[in-house]
Structure 1
Amino acid sequence: MFTAIDVIRAKRDGHRLRDDQIDWVVDAYTRGVVADEQMSALAMAVYLNGMDAAETARWTAAMVNSGEVLSLAVDRPTVDKHSTGGVGDKITLPLAPLVAACGAAVPQLSGRGLGHTGGTLDKLESIPGWRAQLTVDEVQQQLREVGAVICAATTGLAPADRKLYALRDVTATVESIPLIASSIMSKKLAEGASALVLDVKFGSGAFMKTLADARRLADALVSIGHAHGVRTSALLTDMSVPLGRAVGNAVEVAESVEVLQGGGPADVIDLTLALAREMLSLAGLSHVDPAPVLASGEAFEVWSRMITAQGGDSAAPLPRPTHTHTVVAPTDGILTSLDAYSIGVAAWRLGAGRARKEDPVDPAAGILCHTKPGTPVRAGDPILELHTTNPTTIPAALTTLDGSFTIGSAAPTPRPLIADTIRP
């Protein structure tokens, strides 16, 4: 029989936790036998001393086993995608229907935004009537009939992660790679998909600020997936500049629809297609080229059916801001930088995001980036367009945007959107 003190002491002293210790402490914490202060001490010990790949895989398995695991009874190969979050990252919206249109089933259980990173569910809830909460039976039916579902995770999936996630947030242990990786993968493994592609972002607008840290996280995520028999790979993608031109909720839905109808910004199209190709490869559908499927409108048809299946009206007008403010170029030159983090925080201050999980969001709030780095501008040209329904939020957003872009005389060196792909 174990005690919490035994497990805490072992990790505090730098020892590897045994499988039975991990199974016991995660289960006991989920049931309330291990107290928050004890799990806080263990989380700090893990933060300081780490866990090896086998420990992390077992910790993840224990969190998966703390709740239910979906059984996806569909006649298509199942594949999911997860992004570590960024600014303007609306890729799930065009990607899920695109991969479904190519023949796979995409069970995308998504979350809400917090701070400067947007949430997929918040974006979709700007569509009139659309609902995020589905039963397991509804998820199954929609996967069979439509091929794609984007919804909130059920409360029965990885309950240990929900408790531990909240604890990490208030104990300065969020940045632990093993705890980040096990948190992400416990929910994804509980979804029951047979393959998973991860979009691990780096840069100012991402959780991981450097490519080296993003690679460490990607390696951990792919290792966990492989250990659990799920075909897993990861793309390392640049989030130093906002993705696309729209940052917010309704504005990102509108941009996603534009992509699904054959238009949209090149970076959003490129990343959507790159992730689609990786997902199709892992699903055994590498012979299908997603580019012509996207251009043909087939993916847009799946999008419309997906939205309708969840009560949404895909033809209804999206929420519009009642107040706008344009930030213009102060001088002639070339836009040399556009900081993703500053743009994300400004959009949050306009009402597009939340400081706490219970805060409401303004579906019409956000920012449109009228130009991106490398583009010539003249004094007075629009750079950013702020949207909100609450004009009192604009001054704080403008303060946040001070220094968010630079104008110079020479174009910056182009940075690749995809830095690398990690496979087992």
Structure 2
Amino acid sequence: MIPQEIIRRKRNGEELSSVDISSFIGALAAGQLSEGQIGAFAMAVWFKGMSREEIVALTLAMADSGDRLEWTDIDRPIADKHSTGGVGDNVSLMLAPIAAACGLAVPMISGRGLGHTGGTLDKLESIPGYTITPDAGLFRRVVKEAGCAIIGQTGALAPADGRLYAVRDVTATVDSIPLITASILSKKLAAGLQTLVLDVKVGNGAFMADRHQAEILARSLVEVANGAGVKTSALITDMNEPLADSAGNAVEMRNCLDFLAGRKENTRLDTVVLAFAAEMLVKSGTAASPDEGERVARQALSSGKAAEVFARMVSMLGGPGDLIENPDNYLARAPIEKPVTAVRSGWLAACDARGIGVSVIDLGGGRRHPADRIDHRVGFSELLPLGTRVNAGEPIALVHAADEDAAERAAAALAAHYRISEDEPALGPVIAGLV
């Protein structure tokens, strides 16, 4: 196998065979390819695309590049959810324990921030002691005893994807349907899932800004996953504004704890989390209908069972046992907290969600290079939702920054990311469709 020949052929728009793809991915997993070769392959795929057969071959090759998990000793349905990435999207943090509290086993393999989007693992690393790469034995024990475990890829689980994922983040090749499909599903196939629900984001803060493209991605994911034997569906959700009222790492973790304590009802985030919980329960055969699934999930949340599952998971993975009761003892705060004020009176009519994600990176809350260290303290909180009436000078958010200069820059940037109108906006639904 000559890597540059495979790159050349894909660059020229030729269809690669499954042998070509498995050979290239095998070399990638073995550390035999340079970052330049990996980036060139990703860019060729970005420009020329892949056939359905190529995507299946890429997905399977990446899943087979390491170990595959089995859960024969667990008598619960094995289920998971994955998001294509957004801003203020911390759904997984609450959804996994809710689903576990309803009787599912959720071995959730999550990722770091990609491009302008936040990463579940980066958020979890704001918890002191939390182990995102436990050994297989601990991972299995946490899933069995707590009901869920949210971790990162270990070196033994789809290792080819781990390296390709990091290169895509810094080579502007994130928003490729074949690469997104293979990246997501390779980890899910390797995790030994029975059912999967996908959150395909659409809007200016998503990798798929166009509804048609989002539907193409959703169909690609659903067809490839179902073809591989995992019962899969996808919800298409709106990402034209941050989903939560926070964007960052520690600030989103605080948002998660507030949600589990019942303090985020009747929000866009609440709608999405409960809809995905219901879909997971229906797909797993635990609930007969979405309405029943949502009712069961809301009971798990309001009773405190979901919070108990989350606390047990955190403790078993090395985090503090009293995180929910005493978050201020563990979640670091940025030294500067500064209100971001409305530049005029009117309605918050639109925002640049991608720009808000980039502003979090500018604060130090994301990466420009794979080796960059993240400042988990920084970000935005108390973000007002679109459709809110504001007066000039009133706060629309709170910026958390490492120093005064960074806070000033971030506040100005965030204010510029919002459009304030004299007329109340007509906002679309947060859940746009089901595939």
Aligned to 2:305: 298
Deviation at 1:15, TM superposition (A): 4.0
Task: Check 1:157–1:46 CA distance in 2 against 1; reply closer, same or farther (3 A cut).
Answer: same
Aligned to 1:373: 386
Aligned to 2:211: 211
- More deviation, 286-295/222-231: 286-295
Asked whether the equivalents of residues 116 and 345 of structure 1 are also in contact (C-alpha less than 8 Å), the reply is: yes
Aligned to 2:277: 276
Aligned to 1:335: 348
- More deviation, 224-233/291-300: 291-300
Task: Check 1:230–1:407 CA distance in 2 against 1; reply closer, same or farther (3 A cut).
Answer: same
State the secondary structure of the residue aligned to 1:127.
coil
Deviation at 1:256, TM superposition (A): 1.3
- More deviation, 353-362/181-190: 353-362
Structure 2-normalised TM-score? 0.90
Find the aligned partners of 1:256 and 1:206 in 2 and give their Cα distance: 21
Report Cα offsets for 1:21-76 as digits up to 9, x if no partner: 33333324433566666655554443333222122111211111111111223221
Task: Check 1:72–1:343 CA distance in 2 against 1; reply closer, same or farther (3 A cut).
Answer: same
Report Cα offsets for 1:243-292 as digits up to 9, x if no partner: 12111122211221222122215111110001111111221212442122
Deviation at 1:127, TM superposition (A): 2.4
State the secondary structure of the residue aligned to 1:197.
strand
Count of matched residue positions in the alignment of Structure 1 and Structure 2: 421
Asked whether the equivalents of residues 362 and 388 of structure 1 are also in contact (C-alpha less than 8 Å), the reply is: no
Aligned to 1:362: 375
Report Cα offsets for 1:356-386 as digits up to 9, x if no partner: 2322222221212342221211222111211
* Residues 1:400 and 2:413 aligned together: yes
Deviation at 1:102, TM superposition (A): 0.3
Find the aligned partners of 1:377 and 1:32 in 2 and give their Cα distance: 54
Aligned to 1:118: 118
* Residues 1:149 and 2:149 aligned together: yes
Aligned to 1:286: 287
Aligned to 1:200: 200
Deviation at 1:399, TM superposition (A): 4.2
Task: Check 1:249–1:25 CA distance in 2 against 1; reply closer, same or farther (3 A cut).
Answer: closer
Asked whether the equivalents of residues 225 and 232 of structure 1 are also in contact (C-alpha less than 8 Å), the reply is: yes
Report Cα offsets for 1:197-250 as digits up to 9, x if no partner: 111111121122211221111111112101210111111111111112111122
Task: Check 1:77–1:382 CA distance in 2 against 1; reply closer, same or farther (3 A cut).
Answer: same
State the secondary structure of the residue aligned to 2:196.
strand
Find the aligned partners of 1:37 and 1:388 in 2 and give their Cα distance: 35
Find the aligned partners of 1:241 and 1:290 in 2 and give their Cα distance: 25
Deviation at 1:146, TM superposition (A): 0.6
Alignment of 1:335-354 (within 5 A): 335-354=348-367
Equivalent position amino acid for 1:67 in 2:
G
Asked whether the equivalents of residues 351 and 393 of structure 1 are also in contact (C-alpha less than 8 Å), the reply is: no
Asked whether the equivalents of residues 114 and 174 of structure 2 are also in contact (C-alpha less than 8 Å), the reply is: no
Deviation at 1:390, TM superposition (A): 2.7
Task: Check 1:155–1:358 CA distance in 2 against 1; reply closer, same or farther (3 A cut).
Answer: same
Task: Check 1:330–1:392 CA distance in 2 against 1; reply closer, same or farther (3 A cut).
Answer: closer
Alignment of 1:91-130 (within 5 A): 91-130=91-130
Task: Check 1:399–1:297 CA distance in 2 against 1; reply closer, same or farther (3 A cut).
Answer: same
State the secondary structure of the residue aligned to 1:355.
coil
Deviation at 1:172, TM superposition (A): 5.0
Task: Check 1:61–1:411 CA distance in 2 against 1; reply closer, same or farther (3 A cut).
Answer: same
Equivalent position amino acid for 1:130 in 2:
Y
Equivalent position amino acid for 1:374 in 2:
G
Aligned to 1:79: 79
Structure 1-normalised TM-score? 0.92
Q: CA RMSD in A?
A: 2.2
* Residues 1:383 and 2:382 aligned together: no
Find the aligned partners of 1:374 and 1:38 in 2 and give their Cα distance: 47
State the secondary structure of the residue aligned to 2:372.
coil
State the secondary structure of the residue aligned to 1:290.
helix
State the secondary structure of the residue aligned to 2:187.
helix
Deviation at 1:166, TM superposition (A): 4.2
Asked whether the equivalents of residues 115 and 174 of structure 2 are also in contact (C-alpha less than 8 Å), the reply is: no
Aligned to 2:61: 62
Deviation at 1:4, TM superposition (A): 4.5
Aligned to 2:234: 234
Find the aligned partners of 1:239 and 1:185 in 2 and give their Cα distance: 22
State the secondary structure of the residue aligned to 2:416.
coil
Instruction: Could you tell me which runs of 5 or more consecutive residues in structure 2 were left unpaired when the two chains were aligned.
Output: none
Find the aligned partners of 2:167 and 2:64 in 1 and give their Cα distance: 19
Instruction: Could you tell me which runs of 5 or more consecutive residues in structure 1 were left unpaired when the two chains were aligned.
Output: none
Deviation at 1:194, TM superposition (A): 1.3
State percent identity of aligned pairs: 44
Deviation at 1:130, TM superposition (A): 2.2
Equivalent position amino acid for 1:160 in 2:
A
Find the aligned partners of 1:251 and 1:113 in 2 and give their Cα distance: 15
Aligned to 1:308: 315
- More deviation, 137-146/187-196: 187-196
